[in-house]
Amino acid sequence: MKLGVCYYPEHWPETIWAEDARRMVDMGLSKVRIGEFAWSRIEPSRGEFDWGWLDKAVETLAVQGLEITMGTPTATPPKWLIDAHPDILAIDAAGAPRGFGSRRHYCFSSQTYLKESRRITESLAARYGTHRAITSWQTDNEFGCHDTVESYSENARLAFRLWLEDKYKTIDALNTAWGTVFWSMEYRRFGEIDLPNQTVTEANPAHRLDFQRFSSGQVIRYHKAQAEIIRRHASKADITHNVMGHFNAFDHYILGRNVDILTWDSYPLGFLDQAWWKEADKQRWMRSGHPDFAAFHHDLYRGCNQRWGVMEQQPGPVNWAPHNPAPRAGMAALWALEAAAHGAEYCSYFRWRQAPFAQEQNHAGLLYPNSEIAQGGVDAAAAGDILSQIDLSQQTTHQAPIALIYDYESKWLFDIQPQGAAWHYEKLCFMFYTVLRRMGFNIDIISPDAPLTGYKLVAAPSLPILPETFLNRASKAGAHVLLGPRSQSKTRDYQLMPRPNSLEAVLNITIPRSESLRESVKIPINMGLSAAHACIWRDLVETASDNTAVIARCTDDYPAFISQGGLSYLAVWPDKGLIKSVLTHVLNTCGLPQLWLPKDLRVRQFGGLKFAFNYGSKIIHLSQLYPGADYIYRTDKLGPANAAIWR
């Protein structure tokens, strides 16, 4: 795995570029990303290009042997362009334009902007496409950041109508699929259909789901328009896009198929502070990030494209979370090693030097604004040092024994009609993941349509639209399937799944209704050694009292966990005790022995090497868990923010 950094030469005097480049190399960095927000410097006015500075910056970095990723600057259309074409601006759900003065203010459906994006991409790619040092290209920057996938513009409305017509062919088919007879919502022509915003109460869920699918497709279409141009000019370079963590508004599996390498931006402390964890967990891991959060995304994005990397790695405190603590010294090195253990091709820090001006002046860099080295720089150098001591070149990621299904459509579907305020698709998937990781496993995260061959266990925490072939494919692959609550509850058209569905047929049960619960309600379940409860959600399963497939029941007798042959079904949202017991049961069925790691320790097998990571503040001794390990980096005594590696 290579290390890199994101650099903004346009923010600094030319006189310091050469020194910056030398110091990058000294720090052990070999990759550098530039350009992704520099439109106003590349083309200060329409058609007046200033390539001089960028030529020089590229050459300065190239002379030091750095590999460059060139970003297209389309996340930041400049003022002159917006003033000439206000139709570029995205429109929010309340109908207001999203103004100039920050970034990402464009609408994915704007034809003008698509044309302008092609034009700037063409100019940039024509100039640098064959440059010896530019080994990869990044389209735009973080599609959808700041809630920008959906736009309620006139352009979006017209494009959505065409998309619907292409999908349904006839208006009758759409009316049937959406159930528009309800509340007299019937349409006579595709041209009558508006976007699902500004309705009095909830818009039709099928309408909303289709709009989300459409909006996701617009992002991919926009990316492809740039990729096609870059490919023409830079046939040997890799094309990537840097996606985010915690972000679901477009289908990342589809984007993954349209890049050579998928990269993502990892900010472990920012994500922890922002997301759903309990106060005690936020405090416990405030300087390390949640031990599974980056790992979850490494595994997810490897499931989108086998080639993947980290384009932006947090180096120190960020500026955008509600609270922005400093990472523990060494953490930014550990995060890089965790990425290496998951098979990343590179890990690149954001950013080289902290900018003393504008929106991100409180965001750390590897250097302070005065060019003195910051803790992030110390950690990056340490990561480089460790990577130079261990030889990872012979190692590759093997298929994990366990696949976790993560599905973007499921997430959209539940967001549209949660049917219970506490229902949270991402959180449920993460709960499965974190328990499996504490049990010591490598996990692959894959889409419901991915091949299942080679897996012993395929776990779908919830899969409301169960692909027709799913159970068959799993059974052919010899994989045990674990489905969570609400699985197979809906059709692709966002209607209730007709019963009996295949889950009911195989397990000899019926699921006539479900209920959602207040978060404080916990219904006890008899299973395993630890206390187990159903909370948040129950599918209320009915079955004969002598159905031997029922493994555990709630105290009011409703089955909670059912398992027979190659299929297990968890009918309720589990608390930690229940999910542990359920996973233990299915893993034993699959013949997969488990560990139970200390709360702050995580391990990952990478080829023939095992990596261990300490996310806590105290020393962890590895010898009890892994006696006789043949260490190639560090030993049994693992300090805070330390990693150890053994054969």
CA-based nearest residue to 457, from 532, 400, 398:
400
- State both tokens at 500: 């009996």
Contact (Cβ atoms closer than 8 angstroms) between residue 440 and residue 603 = yes
Of the candidate residues 163, 247, 271, 350, the single one contacting ligand GAL (CB under 6 A)? 350
With contacts defined by CB under 6 A, name the span among 141-149, 196-204, 547-555, 616-624 that binds ligand GAL: 141-149
Q: What is the smallest separation between the CB atom of 350 and ligand GAL, expressed in angstroms?
A: 5
Query: 293: buried, middle or exposed (CB in 10 Å: 19+, 13-18, 0-12)?
Result: buried
Binding letters toward ligand GAL, positions 320-349, x by CB under 6 A: x-----------------------------
Q: What is the smallest separation between the CB atom of 641 and ligand GAL, expressed in angstroms?
A: 20
Q: What is the smallest separation between the CB atom of 361 and ligand GAL, expressed in angstroms?
A: 12
Site for ligand GAL in 210-239 (CB under 6 A): none
Nearer to ligand GAL, 104 or 424 (CB): 104
With contacts defined by CB under 6 A, name the span among 138-146, 160-168, 281-289, 532-540 that binds ligand GAL: 138-146
Q: What is the smallest separation between the CB atom of 312 and ligand GAL, expressed in angstroms?
A: 6
Nearer to ligand GAL, 142 or 338 (CB): 142
Q: What is the four-CA torsion angle of 69, 70, 76, 79, rounded to 10 degrees?
A: 150
Of the candidate residues 297, 363, 411, 580, the single one contacting ligand GAL (CB under 6 A)? 363
Residues 6 or more apart in contact with residue 144 via CB below 8 angstroms: 219, 244, 247, 249, 250
Amino acid at 589: T
Contact (Cβ atoms closer than 8 angstroms) between residue 365 and residue 22 = no
User: What residues form DSSP beta bridges with 562?
Assistant: 550, 569
Q: What is the smallest separation between the CB atom of 263 and ligand GAL, expressed in angstroms?
A: 11
CA angle 126, 128, 130 (to 5 degrees): 90
Angle between helices 425-438 and 293-304 (to 10 degrees): 100
* Alpha carbon distance 246, 49 (integer Å): 37
643 binds ligand GAL (CB under 6 A): no
* Alpha carbon distance 76, 68 (integer Å): 20
Amino acid at 576: K
Q: Which of 43, 67, 142, 504 is catalytic?
A: 142
Nearer to ligand GAL, 293 or 646 (CB): 293
SS (H, E, C) 10-42: HHCCHHHHHHHHHHHHHCCCCEEEECCCCHHHH
Amino acid at 563: S
Nearer to ligand GAL, 300 or 387 (CB): 300
267 binds ligand GAL (CB under 6 A): yes
Q: What is the smallest separation between the CB atom of 150 and ligand GAL, expressed in angstroms?
A: 19
Q: What is the smallest separation between the CB atom of 320 and ligand GAL, expressed in angstroms?
A: 6
Nearer to ligand GAL, 12 or 187 (CB): 12
The secondary structure element, H or E, covering residue 398 is none
Nearer to ligand GAL, 185 or 355 (CB): 355
Catalytic annotation present for 142: yes
Q: What is the smallest separation between the CB atom of 318 and ligand GAL, expressed in angstroms?
A: 5
Nearer to ligand GAL, 255 or 481 (CB): 255
Of the candidate residues 136, 141, 204, 248, the single one contacting ligand GAL (CB under 6 A)? 141
Catalytic annotation present for 165: no
* Alpha carbon distance 199, 150 (integer Å): 16
Q: Which residue has the tokens 């809906």?
A: 490
Site for ligand GAL in 509-548 (CB under 6 A): none
- Closest CB to ligand GAL: residue number: 142
Rg (Cα) of the chain, in Å, rounded?
Answer: 26
Binding letters toward ligand GAL, positions 289-318, x by CB under 6 A: -----------------------x-----x
Of the candidate residues 20, 116, 265, 379, the single one contacting ligand GAL (CB under 6 A)? 265
Nearer to ligand GAL, 265 or 444 (CB): 265
The secondary structure element, H or E, covering residue 60 is helix 52-63
* Alpha carbon distance 354, 366 (integer Å): 7
600 binds ligand GAL (CB under 6 A): no
Site for ligand GAL in 80-99 (CB under 6 A): none
Dihedral sign for Cα 299, 330, 313, 273, please: positive
User: Within 138-278, where are the H helices?
Assistant: 154-168, 171-178, 205-233, 252-257, 268-274
The one-character DSSP state at 490 is B
Nearer to ligand GAL, 35 or 448 (CB): 35
The one-character DSSP state at 498 is P
Of the candidate residues 107, 145, 269, 592, the single one contacting ligand GAL (CB under 6 A)? 145
Of the candidate residues 43, 142, 292, 539, the single one contacting ligand GAL (CB under 6 A)? 142
As a residue count, the chain comes to 647
Q: Which of 43, 67, 312, 409 is catalytic?
A: 312
Nearer to ligand GAL, 269 or 536 (CB): 269
Report the 10 Å Cβ neighbour count for 184.
Answer: 6
- Coil, helix or strand at residue 276: coil
Nearer to ligand GAL, 364 or 560 (CB): 364
The secondary structure element, H or E, covering residue 404 is strand 402-405
Residue 554 CA: distances (Å) to CA of 461, 479, 539: 19, 28, 11
Residues 6 or more apart in contact with residue 113 via CB below 8 angstroms: 77, 85, 88, 106, 107
* Alpha carbon distance 598, 432 (integer Å): 17
* Alpha carbon distance 337, 565 (integer Å): 40
Q: What is the smallest separation between the CB atom of 225 and ligand GAL, expressed in angstroms?
A: 20
Q: What is the four-CA torsion angle of 536, 539, 545, 546, rounded to 10 degrees?
A: -100
Q: Which residues are catalytic?
A: 142, 312
Kindly list the residues in this chain that would bind ligand GAL in the complex (CB under 6 A): 141-142, 145, 265, 267, 312, 318, 320, 350, 360, 363
